[in-house]
Homo-oligomer: A and B are copies of this chain.
Amino acid sequence: MASSKLTKLLVDVHSHVYLPRYTALLRSRSNAPLIKTLTNPDGKPDDRLLILADEPSTGRPVGPQYWDRDEKLKFMDKHGIDVTVVSTANPWLDFLPPPEAHKLALELNEDLEQYCSTSPKVVDAQIPRLFGFGLLPLVPNVSVDALLQSIKQIAQLPHLRGLIMGTMGVGKGLDDEALDPVWAAIEEAGLVIFVHPHYGVDAKAWGERDNGHVLPLALGFPFETTTAITRLIISGVLDRFPNLKLLLAHSGGALPILSSRLSSCIVHDPVVASRLKHDARYYVGKLYLDAVSYGPEEMGYASESLARASRYQTGSQETASHSSLAVKRSLGSKRMMFGTDHPFFPPLSSTEKWKSVVENLQAIEDVQGWSEEDKDGVRGGNAVELFNLNIS
């Protein structure tokens, strides 16, 4: 295998799919999440996706880009993406009763394996163009056995290299001690956990004015991820399971920028302070972040926040000014990786490339302090390593 080729691949770690089996389920439903078919003024059918119960009843347009693998490959070709690690889009199985969620998780994991294993290979590198994140039946009252069985299945399916999850756990969030056996099994299997938002925050925060989807998407999603991972950190999960590989959607939302404030609030609160082994910033530096933040300054900062783990490890003698900014940004960049959020954020008008994708690629290019090697890492090399994409 041409390893020099592997360091130059463009790998998308944030790309969603509703597999045909899942799409069929959405079409069969009468309350959200669902897909319904309206009729356009010109008489043509118009598929609409309603993800949330309180969404406007027109929903959003949905089409083959959500379920047709050829559309995914076309999108990849258009943007020069060599490999994609595909995940089911929210809300996953959250709305199903345990037996149905369990059965569907097993089926969808097999479906996704099939989707990936029959994909074309990257020319020259001879690795598949599609890998996947599996699903767990994370719903209230599910048995631990069902969860462990799904983890075992994912670990055994060769093209699945991790799993995607929302922020609800089995109903009480990711700081629920009932999840400890789940963390233990995922850690043991070496699977990457892609944590992704769905619920946002209470819509009352957005006020009365019509701002379309701007506030829930721009703020609600990142707030949700920030809250979920903060709760996970301060409950001690990363002390108990230090080798968990958590990849956060949307560059971790606000967590990196609020991590020093979080640290200060913890130090002033003995309940939480006495519970943790390290400064909050240590744990933040142990995370992985997608590079889906749309600006070079944002990405530069994210890499700085990721480079701080060793400084904030208990007992560290390292000081803030130890290294140059470029050295710190370079170090942190190793934990960041390109993503597109496809098929969400489609262009308003049909253009050659998607604006959001072009922007994120340009942002990677423009980060000050990242070497060409660092940028290659963020574009693909880091994902090749984290997901072992060179091992089939």
A257 within 8 A of B: yes
Contact B256 A257 (CB under 8 A): yes
- Report how far A359 CA is from B265 CA in the complex, Å: 12
A369 near B: Cβ within 8 Å? Answer: yes
CB under 8 Å from chain B, chain A span 345-376: 345, 348, 355-356, 359, 362-363, 366, 368-369
Bound Cα distance from A217 to B227, whole angstroms: 12
B230 touches A270 (CB 8 A): no
Report the minimum CB–CB distance from A235 to chain B (whole Å).
Answer: 6
Nearest-CB distance from A381 to chain B (Å)?
A: 22
Binary CB contact string for chain A from 210 to 231 against chain B (1 if under 8 A, 0 otherwise)? 1111110111001110110011
Chain B positions within 8 Å of A345 at CB level: 264, 268
Q: Which of B207, B210, B213, B298 is close to A173, meaning CB atoms less than 8 Å apart?
A: B207
Question: Known contacts A214-B234, A219-B226, A230-B215: does B209 contact A259 (CB below 8 Å)?
Answer: no
Number of copies: 2
A296 within 8 A of B: yes
CB distance from A261 to the nearest CB of B (A): 5
A5 within 8 A of B: no
Task: Give the complex CA separation of A200 and B91 in angstroms.
Answer: 26
Q: Collect the chain B residues with CB atoms within 8 Å of residue A262's CB.
A: 214, 218-219
By the criterion CB–CB under 8 Å, are B301 and A297 in contact?
yes
Residues from 254 to 307 in A contacting B, C-beta threshold 8 Å: 254, 256-272, 281, 293-298, 300-301, 304-305
Q: Mark A191-209, 1 if CB is under 8 A from B, else 0.
A: 0000000000110111111
Mark A94-125 against chain B: 1 for CB-CB distance below 8 A, else 0.
00000000000000000000000000000000
In the complex, the answer to whether B269 meets A213 with C-beta atoms within 8 Å is: yes
A294 and B230 form a contact (CB under 8 A): no
Is A172 part of the binding interface, using a Cβ–Cβ cutoff of 8 Å?
yes
Tell me which residues across on chain B come within 8 A of A159, comparing CB atoms: none
Give chain B residues whose Cβ lies under 8 Å from the Cβ of A261.
218, 222, 250, 293-294, 298
User: Given contacts A213-B265, A268-B348, is CB(A258)–CB(B297) below 8 Å?
Assistant: no
**Do A258 and B218 form a contact, CB below 8 Å, given A207-B172, A209-B175?**
yes
Top 4 nearest A-B pairs by Cβ distance?
Answer: A260-B295, A254-B254, A260-B294, A301-B301
A-B contact pairs, 8 of them (CB 8 A): A202-B205, A211-B272, A219-B254, A257-B301, A261-B298, A264-B355, A264-B356, A324-B368
Q: Interface residues, chain A, CB within 8 Å of chain B?
A: 172-173, 175, 201-202, 204-215, 217-219, 222-224, 226-227, 230-231, 234-235, 250, 253-254, 256-272, 281, 293-298, 300-301, 304-305, 308, 320-321, 324-325, 328, 345, 348, 355-356, 359, 362-363, 366, 368-369
